[in-house]
Structure 1
Amino acid sequence: MKQLAGLDASFLYLETPQMPMHVGALHLLQLPVGYDGDFVEDLREHMRARLPLLPALRRKLLAMPLGLSNPGWVDADPDLELHIVEIPLPEGSGMAALEAEVGSLHPVLLDRTRPLWKFHVFTGLEPGPEGEPRVALYTQLHHAAVDGQAAVALAQVILDLSPEPRAIDTLAARGKKRGQLGTVGLLRAAVSQQWKQTVKLARSLPNAAGILGGMAVGYVGGAAAGASVNKLRTLLSDVASQTTAVVRGKTAVSSLGPAPRTRFNVSLSATRSFAGVTLPLAELNRTRKRHGASLNDAVLFVIGGALRRYFAKHGPLPRKSLIAAVPVSTRAAGDTTSNNQATMTFMSLGTHLAQPAERLSHVMASSAAMKAQMSQLKSLMPTDFPSLGIPWLMQAGAMLYGRAKVAEKLPVIANVVISNVPGPQVPLYLAGAQMLTNYPTSIAVHGLALNVTVQTYNQSLDIGLMACGEALPETAELAAYVEAAFLEFQALPVAEAPKTPDPARAPAARKQRVAPPAAKASKPTRAPAQASKAPATAQPSRARKPVAKATPQPRASTARKRTAAA
């Protein structure tokens, strides 16, 4: 038995019918031409062969006596008839039907008496542009078992690089099965785990003090650090509140709240609304490189632009910028452990700025502030801690939080969750079927009714919009605004850097100041990169499409009209 770390177990304690804690994705799959088999059975056989390499899918929870501390993982063989199920849809169903099904299935909690995962296979979909048969897959994995990058590692085992599945060495893959402990053994394991967690936390404190001390030296400057008590207190205050300002030109950007209160900052219902949207990654990269922006900057700018459009229509558009809660991975390179290794930071989206160029500068400044801070602080965030009594406290607190609608009464620190998970850039296959899309389906929580998760796949940027069905039923409309904000990003002219006067040309410059006005008028002017800018609240146009990628575009064949503002 392996007892859950504190962060992993937290996702169990916080789960309620209104706040399910599983993650996954919606995949559109294209079957080989002429396929006439049963894909559900093929998938079960495929997973049966891969399970020896997937310990996260071969374990279930074992509760500690009286629920005093975190439960443990014990070995369990999943019944694939129950974990991989078929959902027939009306013949010719498209993307809108799939999104509605995901919205209906997402609030259904996973059975904790079994391994915490489930695959739903949708049949009855309209064929591809050349008549290719298609199915879809909606996956669910509990966040107590995996985070975003751990899920990517699982996908690398399940998926293949060609339609022909690779051979798996099952004998070397499966380890020795562990037996379950009795009540006395469980109590001993719980006490031992509490001691290890306490010692681990205590040992991390000197390292944390050293990091903060090093930051203090850099903050106040050299040997004066020891004498500058007031400055050190200021530093620690900044660290505690995660306040960092970065100056770009004359603009200081802080991502700390309070954030404006919006319709997203409410307690959740037990309903969900979901939509997916795909953007061409190559064009997004070309555009963001012209502006010196990172991929994260580009994602935040596009999502911020879509939210500005949404609130401009549905109102009210806050005068203060919306704040995004952004998960940040603390996972070391090459670590594929099936657990959670992440923390959270905050980013200002600049939605209060009407001009796209100003909004992009604002986002880039906010991003630079976050990076400067997190590079030093992410190692201070604990993922494990003593848990004696925590299960009772957190479960009771989660239920009370939702029932008492505490989210409506507390100050707002963020308005939306935006997560960016790197994924593979080549086409992948599952049981012989080509995966066309990879729309993430993540978690909305009380007070943050919208989660936007982005994952790169096969030269595309696939975006999943998961929201409370009562707070935001118009996810399809928001997806259309994402496409419009991307077009706005493409059309944004590159700002010219201010020219620095050359001292060697100073005499000529003085001579030019006394030149006749006609000489000045004859000086050629540089044409702007774009003739005009897209309005900040422009509505999405379906006439212009993003650049298509080489592989078949699923949205073209499963297209449906999105409701957009006139």
Structure 2
Amino acid sequence: MKQLSGIDATFLYMETDQTPMHVAGLTLYDLPKGFRGSFHKHFTDFFKGRVHLIPIFGMKLAKAMWQVDHPGWVDAGELDFDYHIQSAKLPKPGNQKQLEEMVATLHAERLDRKKPLWQFTVIEGLEGRQAALYSKVHHAAVDGGAGMVITKALYDVTDQPREVDPPEPKKPTRKPSDLERAILGLSDVAANMARQQLTIMENIPKMLGQVSDMVAPVLAGKVGLPQLLAPRTPFNVTVEAKRSYAARSISLSDVKAIGKATGTKLNDVVMAITSGAARAYLTKRQELPDAALVAFVPISMREVGNSDINNQVFGMNVPLATNYGDPLKRLKKIAQESGASKTLAGSVKDAAPKDFTLIGAPTLLPGLMQLYGATKLADHIPQAVNMCISNTQGPPFPLFCAGAKVTALYPVSIATHGVALNVTVQSYLDHLDFGITADHKAMPDADVFADLIVASFEDLKQAVKKAQGKEPA
């Protein structure tokens, strides 16, 4: 049994019926020329020959003895493809709005923990001879970087699928007895605790040095104190089971041009676009706070070339300058705040724990999460952030799946208690694909927010042109 790290297991412990902890994608395909019949059957036959390229798809959870420590991954045996690859069809006309509503419904359903923690739904009936794939995998198994490993296994760079070597025969293994499991489990707990205590002791000098480096610029007056708490918004509530979802695309070339013209990074521009949409959305509802909204922005700790299927993420909080009306001023303020936050996060991320062992965690931590939701504490206590904004680099070249051309790669992410809005972005070819995932009660109209993303992008683009002395197109 390969035990989950503390970070991976935390996504299991955080999961309730109201807070599913899977991440997902919505992929759009142009059907192969002349294709007839069921794309679900066509895709299933294709993927059966690829599934072994993603080892985690053949693993399921196994509890530690007496649940004294984190669970682990064990071989799942023969896969139930009737469960893992579902079929759905949109009613006519099969438009974008209908697709988004279906994805919102599918995304609210938890994965079955008795099976490998992934499920695909092939969606047919889209207008324009298209099909879609909604693919969800539990966050305990993957982060954004690991998700790219799945993408590489699933897709090809031409419309002719590449030859894939068949899986190697599995070697028979003896199932340990209950006594052996108990001894191994207790020894693993003891070893994990000893290893992590040693790691903490080794990191103390580094941590003290990094705290000193972090505080020195503040004491010297070079940077100000970070914004520690976010203002209250409709997004900072206890979430319910129902989800809202929308997807939109904008030009990647134009976003890069904005960054080049303003001396800012692509991620700064993405945050500024999202900030403009949040400002407009809350202004329309007469709920825009005076203080700037704050976003949690994940940072990958994955080294170049690392293809491990697990979570390797850290994060930073970035004020979004929603108290600035001018798009350019907002962008420059965000770039300034983002740079300071990244410096701060970079100074402590190496010392941050990447694993933890807590005796009884599989029982204690889910109970605390249930209590947090049941008492609706998120409706009352201050939050550090208002939303999550994540940006992942995707392939700049065309992808194909089972002969069908991929036209968009929209992310579908997580909403949780206190942070009911998640904006996740992935680049593909020459566009940025935005996926807006929200609690339905907090934001029933994710499509309105998505349209404001596009409008905010256009406002920023025109502001840059005006600043350069060019007439708007």
The TM-score, its normalising length taken from structure 2, stands at: 0.94
What's the offset of the Cα at 1:317?
0.9
What's the offset of the Cα at 1:191?
1.8
1:8 aligns with 2:4: no
Which structure 2 residues correspond to residues 349-388 of structure 1 after superposition, within 5 A?
A: 349-388=320-359
Superposed CA deviations along residues 155-212 of structure 1, whole A, max 9, x for unmatched, are: 111111111111112255x664655433223223322322332233223234423323
- In structure 2, the CA distance between the partners of 1:275 and 1:216, relative to structure 1 (3 Å rule), is closer
3-state DSSP class of the match of 1:436? strand
Contact 2:211-2:347 at 8 Å conserved across structures: no
Partner residue of 2:450?
479
1:34 aligns with 2:34: yes
- Pick one of 459, 462, 468 that aligns with 1:488: 459
- Pick one of 163, 167, 182 that aligns with 2:177: 182
Partner residue of 1:155?
151
- Pick one of 131, 136, 139 that aligns with 2:132: 136
- Pick one of 526, 529, 533 that aligns with 2:468: 529
Instruction: Tell me the amino acid that sits aligned with residue 403 of structure 2.
Output: G
Contact 1:492-1:530 at 8 Å conserved across structures: no
Partner residue of 2:88?
87
Which structure 2 residues correspond to residues 211-250 of structure 1 after superposition, within 5 A?
A: 211-215=206-210
Partner residue of 2:114?
113
Partner residue of 1:319?
290
What's the offset of the Cα at 1:16?
0.5
Partner residue of 2:43?
43
What's the offset of the Cα at 1:355?
1.9
3-state DSSP class of the match of 2:27? strand
Superposed CA deviations along residues 134-174 of structure 1, whole A, max 9, x for unmatched, are: 111101100111111101111111111111111112255x6
Instruction: Tell me the amino acid that sits aligned with residue 308 of structure 1.
Output: R
Separation in 1, partners of 2:383, 2:210: 29
Instruction: Tell me the amino acid that sits aligned with residue 40 of structure 1.
Output: H
Partner residue of 1:17?
17
What's the offset of the Cα at 1:393?
1.3
Separation in 1, partners of 2:352, 2:211: 18
Which structure's relative contact order is higher, taking Cα pairs within 8 Å and 6+ residues apart? 2
What's the offset of the Cα at 1:27?
1.1
Separation in 1, partners of 2:202, 2:69: 27
Partner residue of 2:165?
169
Contact 2:387-2:422 at 8 Å conserved across structures: yes
- In structure 2, the CA distance between the partners of 1:189 and 1:279, relative to structure 1 (3 Å rule), is farther
> Which stretch has the larger CA shift, 191-200 or 259-268?
191-200
Partner residue of 2:406?
435
What's the offset of the Cα at 1:39?
1.5
- In structure 2, the CA distance between the partners of 1:18 and 1:528, relative to structure 1 (3 Å rule), is closer
What's the offset of the Cα at 1:330?
1.3
Separation in 2, partners of 1:254, 1:78: 52
Separation in 1, partners of 2:271, 2:193: 38
| Structure 1: 5+ residue stretches without partners | 128-132, 220-233, 495-526, 534-543, 545-566
Instruction: Tell me the amino acid that sits aligned with residue 240 of structure 2.
Output: S
Separation in 1, partners of 2:212, 2:381: 36
Separation in 1, partners of 2:398, 2:220: 41
Larger radius of gyration: 1
Contact 1:119-1:139 at 8 Å conserved across structures: yes
1:210 aligns with 2:205: yes
3-state DSSP class of the match of 1:444? coil
Superposed CA deviations along residues 58-89 of structure 1, whole A, max 9, x for unmatched, are: 00011123322211111113211221011122
1:304 aligns with 2:275: yes
Instruction: Tell me the amino acid that sits aligned with residue 197 of structure 2.
Output: A
Which structure 2 residues correspond to residues 506-545 of structure 1 after superposition, within 5 A?
A: 529-530=468-469
- Pick one of 192, 202, 207 that aligns with 1:197: 192
Separation in 2, partners of 1:34, 1:190: 56
- In structure 2, the CA distance between the partners of 1:374 and 1:85, relative to structure 1 (3 Å rule), is same
3-state DSSP class of the match of 2:405? strand
- In structure 2, the CA distance between the partners of 1:210 and 1:475, relative to structure 1 (3 Å rule), is same
Separation in 1, partners of 2:275, 2:25: 23
Separation in 2, partners of 1:421, 1:179: 41
Separation in 2, partners of 1:40, 1:286: 40
Separation in 1, partners of 2:469, 2:459: 11
What's the offset of the Cα at 1:110?
0.5
Which structure 2 residues correspond to residues 340-419 of structure 1 after superposition, within 5 A?
A: 340-419=311-390
Separation in 2, partners of 1:11, 1:467: 18
Partner residue of 2:58?
58
Query: How many pairs are equivalent?
Result: 472
Partner residue of 1:124?
125
Separation in 2, partners of 1:177, 1:348: 54
Separation in 2, partners of 1:45, 1:213: 55
Separation in 1, partners of 2:133, 2:36: 18
Contact 1:421-1:455 at 8 Å conserved across structures: yes
Separation in 2, partners of 1:96, 1:216: 48
What's the offset of the Cα at 1:387?
2.9
1:289 aligns with 2:260: yes
Separation in 2, partners of 1:479, 1:439: 12
Separation in 2, partners of 1:64, 1:215: 36
Separation in 2, partners of 1:192, 1:358: 57
> Which stretch has the larger CA shift, 207-216 or 74-83?
207-216
What's the offset of the Cα at 1:389?
1.0
What's the offset of the Cα at 1:91?
3.1
Separation in 2, partners of 1:422, 1:180: 42
Instruction: Tell me the amino acid that sits aligned with residue 468 of structure 2.
Output: A
- In structure 2, the CA distance between the partners of 1:532 and 1:282, relative to structure 1 (3 Å rule), is closer
Partner residue of 1:96?
97
% identity of equivalent residues: 35
Instruction: Tell me the amino acid that sits aligned with residue 529 of structure 1.
Output: Q
- Pick one of 269, 293, 299 that aligns with 1:328: 299
Superposed CA deviations along residues 36-69 of structure 1, whole A, max 9, x for unmatched, are: 1322122112221112211110000111233222
